[in-house]
Amino acid sequence: MNKQQIVSALNKVREQKPLVVNITNFVVMNNTANALLAVGASPIMSHSKQEMTEMMSFAGALVINIGTLDSVWRPGMFFAVEQANENNKPVILDPVGCGATKLRTSTARQLAELADNLIIRGNASEIIAMAGEKSQNKGVDALDASEAALSAARSLVESYACSVVVSGKTDYIVTKERTIALSNGHEMMPYVTGMGCSLSAVTGAFAAVGETSGVAAAAIFAIAGEIAAENSQGPGSLQVNLLDSLYQLSADDIESRLKFREC
């Protein structure tokens, strides 16, 4: 994937305005919906089994985020993934807090197991926890954080035949074929809640128009965040400016700022 393909994927999202169904957490519903709108997509937040079969028949992608998981919403997540499979739609899984509790770790793994066309998007500790013993066995202590995360991501790619996006100072996008390192973004971004969740949602918009590697979404999101942060006095203005940047992002912004390399 080169710069021109990233620009072209963004143009596709803006033209096709894909519908992205989100079962997401209560904290980020508003800003992930706004991130999808700003990038040109159409968000629907829905979690009821009673309407998920209809929803997935006309949606372009499904985003599942376990950030405020409970036993009331959990069954709806599995049902939604089944409907996405039925309709051959991509599923983006954001395993928020994976590793922090058994409920989250096991739910994340079971959802990944179930999804036919999967992209996982998480931070290093979530990805490492989700991969579990497999990455541990390779000796986490001996590796730096990004090596451990990369190893875990590769293990997940193998286990679930998926793409994995690991967010961090450097983002890594790991597919069966290759690993991309992306060095855009800004150190203030982790001070805004739901930045990763917004990237997961936006990854759904790109997957819905056929960009299922996760690279284009990660690139445009990190570049928009970088531009936004340069004009921000703190995380409050960063959250606002990010939506403005996503909305205004130009081919020139992408071409002049993109820093990525194959590992």
* Residue ranges of the binding site: 45, 121, 167, 194
CB of 142 to its own copies, least distance (A): 25
Q: With CB under 8 A as the rule, give the number of residues binding its own copies.
A: 55
- Residue 35 has which token pair? 């991130």
Nearest of 126, 112, 212 to residue 168 by alpha carbon = 126
C-beta of 103 vs 114, nearer to its own copies: 103
Q: Which residues are annotated as a binding site for ATP?
A: 121, 167
Binding to its own copies (CB under 8 A): which residues in 178-217? 190-194
CB of 70 to its own copies, least distance (A): 4
> Nearer Cβ to its own copies, position 79 or 260?
79
Q: Which is nearer to its own copies, 248 or 256 (CB)?
A: 248
78 binds its own copies (CB under 8 A): no
Tell me the C-alpha distance between 258 and 7, whole Å.
Answer: 11
Q: Which of residues 102-131 bind its own copies (CB under 8 A)?
A: 102-104
Selected binder of its own copies within 4, 101, 137, 183 (CB under 8 A): 101
Window 12-51: contact mask with its own copies (x via CB under 8 A):
-------------xxxxxxx-xx--xx----xxxxxx-xx
Task: Order the strands of the 42-45 sheet from edge to edge.
Answer: 42-45, 19-23, 61-65, 91-94, 118-123, 163-167, 171-174, 179-182, 260-262
- Encode 175-194 in three state secondary structure: CCCCEEEECCCCCCHHHCCC
Cα dihedral 238, 239, 242, 243 sign: negative
Binding-site residue ranges for substrate: 45, 194
Residue 68 near its own copies by CB under 8 A: yes
Given its phi and psi angles, is residue 22 left (phi above 0), alpha (psi -120 to 50 degrees) or beta?
beta
What span, in angstroms and rounded, lies between the C-alpha atoms of 189 and 169?
Answer: 10
Residue from 90, 95, 97, 204 in contact with its own copies (CB under 8 A): 97
What tokens does 91 get? Answer: 């599923």
Q: Smallest distance from the beta carbon of 234 to its own copies, in angstroms?
A: 3
65 in Cβ contact with 92 (< 8 Å):
no
Single out the segment in contact with its own copies by CB under 8 A; choices: 80-88, 151-159, 163-171, 239-247. Answer: 239-247
What distance in Å separates the CA atoms of residue 101 and residue 217, rounded to the nearest whole number? Answer: 28
**Cβ 151 to its own copies shortest distance, Å:** 25
Say whether residue 72 binds its own copies (CB under 8 A): yes
Beta-bridge mates of residue 65: 94
**251 makes contact with its own copies (CB under 8 A):** no
What lies within 8 Å, CB to CB, of 90 at 6+ separation is 61, 62, 84, 117, 118, 119, 204, 207, 208, 212
Among 108, 239, 254, 260, binds its own copies (CB under 8 A): 239
Binding interface with its own copies (CB under 8 A): 25-31, 33-34, 37-38, 43-48, 50-51, 54-55, 58, 67-72, 97, 100-104, 190-194, 232-237, 239-248
